[in-house]
Structure 1
């Protein structure tokens, strides 16, 4: 009897090990992946008695806290006839304005992650292509190469970066020939980053010509609101305000604070209506400016970047003390962007290292990621599904969780519990409205007293709106909620409430 039990146990163990080995060898091709981090976490939970933090950052599953410290007055506390409706949260990916993945604008539709659905694209402009001759700007090339009219027509917005040095496999320069001939104080390089030319960013002629080009670029893109985010490029490799002097100490060094401030001022003047972002939190960060991290997914590099954000400190490239300022809550008032690192395979970041990837994104409070984003053809099925989880974390994700209404013979009051189930607020003033539709199809709208820019990730608030409709009559109305684009004055944002929709409006009743 005992011998049979032992034999059966051994057989079961062998079967489990066989299945495990099979999945490890062939699972990726079949879209089946074992998340080792998740298994470790489950085993740990069996033996640890201490309270643990969740292994993965899943913002949508975290109950939003009330952002109001005072006791909230509700409709139920005002009227005995209050009717309350509770809503479940939606688990769908919401492709909303000004957030999410931002693939390269020069990508063809369908080649990148849901190019037809994403609401942001990334435009990189090198000075060499933009101004081949002094004072001659090739806007047509930028428009054509990046399909900009197509993206405008599709209602997308753009992240823009202007660059002067992009390492590649070939010997080249990313500044115009005429600028090189005028300055000639930079240096060509060939190192682990690639090949290229590093100009001397402190050269006064270089700065003057650069600022004229940036002014022209800004004037062109300021004709409409297509470009909403501008990453301060210009300086260093890839416009990341860093020069690899560790491998080549003959390269020109990064300019000091006084010179960097000249570049920052040029960006502020050229793009007065866009949100500006810096790679590092320099003291000369523009007012209302955000930050971006081009090593998203790398634990070492992102942890270092978060240390700059949280603590500030020395800028090692120039040795300046306190050149970096501490801005730990910058995400509350300004956007955080960046792209996935190229140093780790995307499959690994989304599967075996997903716990780390999602945690870093959460700690950074990111609004958008691009241009390095997941591409369907390079990923297993399981990794592709993880993209949805990340999309549900990024930016804002507003939801109505409760509606209650009560009133009298002359008016009704509608109370809403509104939460933000993602990582950050929206950074533009998008007004919220209630729409009441009567039996004849007539619609009246009423503004909800809420500032979405101050409803941070993981928080909720309760708001009340008074409408000139009696309580008895209100039962015959449909009630919709919408978040409007301030420019079009039309609903433009999906909310994460599990309810029927009419276009962008959510049907609450």
Structure 2
């Protein structure tokens, strides 16, 4: 009985007494993973773009020709060494948006064909598709509404459909769940992998091959986020793809905003597609990211000349990142562009954390954590709140992940997570308690919170906690002796 009473005396202070931490909330311009601005990464090895505003996402086209060197023979190492590694050498925090492509108009002029060998530099798919036994027809063109030259395979050929599905399966086996991937854009079909043949209607990808490719991506990438170009039928029917709007903001919202070259009269416009074609897709942003780019000067200028409306559209359609084309390619616009970057994607702050004021290793310890997302979108990748116990010399002696799926914290909302955690075996004493949102996959950096003060690693310092010896260690030192 005396031993039980002593144990209860040790446990009760941990359970009954608690401390609440409420770190000040900030509005800083943070560089966090999988959100913000995106840079052109396809030809990075030929000379990278200037990174003026802390971008860490890179858009990389995946030429089918480079990747599949013979039927079902894939050069993953070569592709990554040529396209991803040069970016990682310059930015070790880089993540990627990949878009497979079989026809990119003017591959030579854009540098896409830089690594091609064997002639026909405007052909972006492997030659074996045209050769026996597949014999898939192909069509040369000089211009499709001013875009070209190029060479298009017959999208609707049965052999092409089979080969396309096999490629997508292989892509999934390589990249599904890869923490380096911000999103896969479901390309491959049509000009630029955008599932259309504007200006060259023959051959236009038909609905049958679109459905086949659409469904193949869904099956191949159950973990990695997916985007398509248009809110169209059948492109976005029955799936929860996110969208990449490449005429942002002209073809994004209805034209009441007065954006340059706006056209909301058909399904090339995102709002029109969501309102009239695939209404169910309006909620797709809850599971997959929305992004966009601005290829024309007037569109880029709208970012800085009409920032208030740009921010409204970002919030209304839940954009996570913008680029590779946009005003962020130019220096000198820090004030408006930092406000855009801060709004894009998630923006997490801790309102309060409640834990016992005396902690002991190996014991169940209750917590309450309140988190607010002030951004425009959810976080789409795996992150968990992490507590770090740092000793007086600045060494982290223990790290604990708290239960709570941050992907459920929608923009503009506050979520309270409750549960229990257990300390690792660390020495009794006083520690600095710090918090961040740690990655649940190896090789992915943590999220920095909108709170202060932060240490050099981006962790928010909450205060000092006391860790006492675990009860079993006390007993082992002689407590149980008569």
TM-score (norm. length: structure 1): 0.68
C-alpha distance 409-230 of structure 1, shift in aligned 2 (>3 A): closer
Q: CA deviation at 1:456?
A: 0.8
The answer to whether the Cα contact below 8 Å between 2:179 and 2:443 also exists between their aligned partners in 1 is no
Task: String of CA shifts for 1:88-137, please: whole Å, max 9, x gaps.
Answer: 3323222222222221223368633248x533222102223334655554
C-alpha distance 144-436 of structure 1, shift in aligned 2 (>3 A): closer
Q: Output the CA distance in 2 between the equivalents of 1:143 and 1:442.
A: 34
Residue number among 234, 238, 244 corresponding to 1:292 in the alignment: 244
Matches within 5 A, 1:54-69: none
**Do residues 90 (structure 1) and 26 (structure 2) align?**
yes
Residue number among 421, 441, 454 corresponding to 1:487 in the alignment: 441
Q: CA deviation at 1:365?
A: 0.6
Task: Tell me which residue corresponds to 1:130.
Answer: 67
Name the SS for the 1:211 alignment partner.
helix
Task: Tell me which residue corresponds to 2:322.
Answer: 369
Matches within 5 A, 1:330-369: 330-337=284-291, 339-345=292-298, 347-369=300-322
C-alpha distance 369-491 of structure 1, shift in aligned 2 (>3 A): closer
Task: Tell me which residue corresponds to 1:111.
Answer: 49
Q: Output the CA distance in 2 between the equivalents of 1:417 and 1:355.
A: 29
C-alpha distance 150-306 of structure 1, shift in aligned 2 (>3 A): closer
C-alpha distance 361-442 of structure 1, shift in aligned 2 (>3 A): closer
Q: CA deviation at 1:162?
A: 0.6
Q: CA deviation at 1:453?
A: 0.7
Task: Tell me which residue corresponds to 2:118.
Answer: none
The answer to whether the Cα contact below 8 Å between 1:261 and 1:284 also exists between their aligned partners in 2 is yes
Q: CA deviation at 1:452?
A: 0.8
Q: CA deviation at 1:455?
A: 0.5
Matches within 5 A, 1:97-496: 97-105=33-41, 106-107=43-44, 111-114=49-52, 117-131=54-68, 134-135=71-72, 137-139=74-76, 141-148=78-85, 151=88, 154-168=92-106, 172-180=122-130, 182-184=135-137, 186=139, 188-195=141-148, 196-221=150-175, 224-244=178-198, 247-249=199-201, 251-256=202-207, 258-281=208-231, 282-283=233-234, 285=236, 287-298=239-250, 299=259, 300=262, 305-308=269-272, 310-313=274-277, 324-337=278-291, 339-345=292-298, 347-376=300-329, 378-379=330-331, 381=332, 383-403=333-353, 415-437=368-390, 443-464=397-418, 477-488=431-442, 492-496=446-450
The answer to whether the Cα contact below 8 Å between 1:189 and 1:248 also exists between their aligned partners in 2 is no
C-alpha distance 368-308 of structure 1, shift in aligned 2 (>3 A): same
Q: Gapped runs of 5+ residues in structure 2?
A: 1-14, 110-120, 251-258, 464-482
C-alpha distance 312-326 of structure 1, shift in aligned 2 (>3 A): farther
What RMSD over aligned residues (CA atoms) do the two structures have, in Å?
Answer: 3.8
Q: Output the CA distance in 2 between the equivalents of 1:409 and 1:125.
A: 51
Q: Output the CA distance in 1 between the equivalents of 2:87 and 2:247.
A: 29
Q: Output the CA distance in 2 between the equivalents of 1:229 and 1:357.
A: 23
C-alpha distance 226-149 of structure 1, shift in aligned 2 (>3 A): farther
Task: String of CA shifts for 1:316-361, please: whole Å, max 9, x gaps.
Answer: xxxxxxxx35322221222223x31213346512222333333222
Q: Output the CA distance in 2 between the equivalents of 1:102 and 1:200.
A: 32
Q: CA deviation at 1:154?
A: 1.0
TM-score (norm. length: structure 2): 0.72
C-alpha distance 175-359 of structure 1, shift in aligned 2 (>3 A): same
Name the SS for the 2:450 alignment partner.
coil
Q: CA deviation at 1:450?
A: 2.7
Q: Output the CA distance in 2 between the equivalents of 1:494 and 1:234.
A: 35
Q: Output the CA distance in 2 between the equivalents of 1:180 and 1:480.
A: 59
The answer to whether the Cα contact below 8 Å between 2:402 and 2:421 also exists between their aligned partners in 1 is no
C-alpha distance 309-462 of structure 1, shift in aligned 2 (>3 A): farther
Name the SS for the 1:389 alignment partner.
helix
Q: CA deviation at 1:370?
A: 3.0
Q: Output the CA distance in 2 between the equivalents of 1:270 and 1:82.
A: 47
Q: Gapped runs of 5+ residues in structure 1?
A: 1-77, 314-323
Q: CA deviation at 1:403?
A: 4.5
